[in-house]
Amino acid sequence: MAGTVDLTAPVPVQRVSTLELFFDLVFVFTVTQLTAVLTHDLSWASLGQVMVMLALIWWMYAGYAWLTNSISTRGLRQRAILLGGMAGYLVLALAVPGAFHGSGLAFGVGYLIVVSVHSSLFIWTASAQSSRAFLGIAPYNLFNALLVVVGGALGGTAQAVLWTLAAVLEWSTPWIANREAQGGFQIAAAHFVERHGLVVIVAVGESVVAVGIGAAGLAVDAELILVAVLGLLLSAGLWWAYFGADDDAQAEHALSSAPAERQPWIALEGFGCAHYGLLLGIVAVSVGIKKAIGHAYDPIGTAQALALGGGVALFLAADVWFRHVLGLGRAAHRAVAAVLALATIPLGTEVAAVAQLAALVVILGVALAGEGAARPRLNARTP
């Protein structure tokens, strides 16, 4: 279905447009809404709902990253249609807080708009090779979007089952559909790496905002300043883990150096699957910081401590996965730090939130500084 891939055809260097950055702001609003859901109800049921919604939302965000990697956003028609996709994302984001409590249909309609706009643009404006490759995936996207709409309309247990099924099917699509079709996509490495890096840094900014939200209404004294700075340093540690030592440039080199037929699969696993874990980790850390700031010098509940330590651990584990896929180094320090992050949970529950925050900052700093001298390997593997 994808036709023959021309391994010698150069992929032109392109960079992220301002329209794409505008689009990303709407997407990150959905991440903010997911954080609010978990902050309001820090329970396993709420976490499961957030995981399902993020899986659905991130699949289509990734789809738009692949789309703008294949088309120009300079034309009036492309810009107008992309704005329609942004409108769908906005509707979806507004419905997130009550998606499992009454606004599921609005979420589903917004999601169907997002999917329809994406499919239309990909089929009408992408290159012939990319369009043929996408035709192997488009029917699955539309089917899964309809599952989301029906689930949102039904509500209750049926919604939970249908939305979970849609999320699982979506992330299984590349393997269910024609595998050869997935290999038909061409990847502009510079644009692809930059686009995902930008959404990560804006999402990390959510954890910085969480410091301010958690401190709202509190007296600005030495105690608040200390815990606020620790929260900022923890966010900085997440930034350092992803962007430190020019890792974005190394990722671009690794992706562009891989054989053309392998690049889509590296992109799918590294920037799709692994980045889902990165974003979920950021959401959890943001929730943990918000919960910790107001009671920083008291022991916190197990759920709050788990959000902090588990969020950092998940972020680091996903980063190790990402680096492994692209061949960016062994990252052993990060793997150890992920385990140690989980070990800080008793500090939060038995000592104080500020003690857990301080321990996490130290663990991240020591781990990342310790691996600074390691030279990365730049041979991307096949997922």
Per-residue pLDDT of the chain (383 residues; tens, 9 = 90+): 333 334 344 444 567 888 888 888 888 899 899 999 999 999 999 999 999 999 999 999 999 988 888 777 777 878 888 888 899 999 999 999 999 999 999 999 999 999 999 888 887 776 666 667 777 788 899 999 999 999 999 999 999 999 999 999 999 988 887 555 555 677 888 989 999 999 999 899 888 888 888 888 888 899 999 999 999 999 999 999 998 766 778 888 899 898 888 888 899 999 999 999 999 999 999 999 998 888 899 999 999 999 999 999 999 999 999 999 998 876 888 999 999 999 999 999 999 999 999 999 999 999 888 776 544 444 444 44
Give the per-residue pLDDT at 245: 67
> Nearest 5°: phi and psi at 263?
-55, -45
SS3 72: coil
Distance CA(129)–CA(180), nearest Å, equals: 12
> Is residue 137 a contact partner of residue 179, using CB atoms and an 8 Å limit?
no
Nearest to 267 by CA among 203, 377, 193, 176: 193
Tokens of 169: 């099917």
Give the per-residue pLDDT at 187: 85
pTM for this entry: 0.90
CB neighbours of residue 28 within 10 Å: 20
- Widest distance between CA atoms in the chain: 65
Q: How many angstroms separate the first and last alpha carbons of the chain?
A: 21
Residue 22: which residues within 8 A CB-CB, separation 6 or more?
Answer: 86
Nearest to 338 by CA among 199, 230, 229, 238: 238
> Nearest 5°: phi and psi at 297?
-105, 20
Residue 118: which residues within 8 A CB-CB, separation 6 or more?
Answer: 60, 63, 64, 67, 85, 141
The H-or-E segment that residue 339 falls in is helix 332-343
Give the per-residue pLDDT at 154: 97
CB neighbours of residue 365 within 10 Å: 15
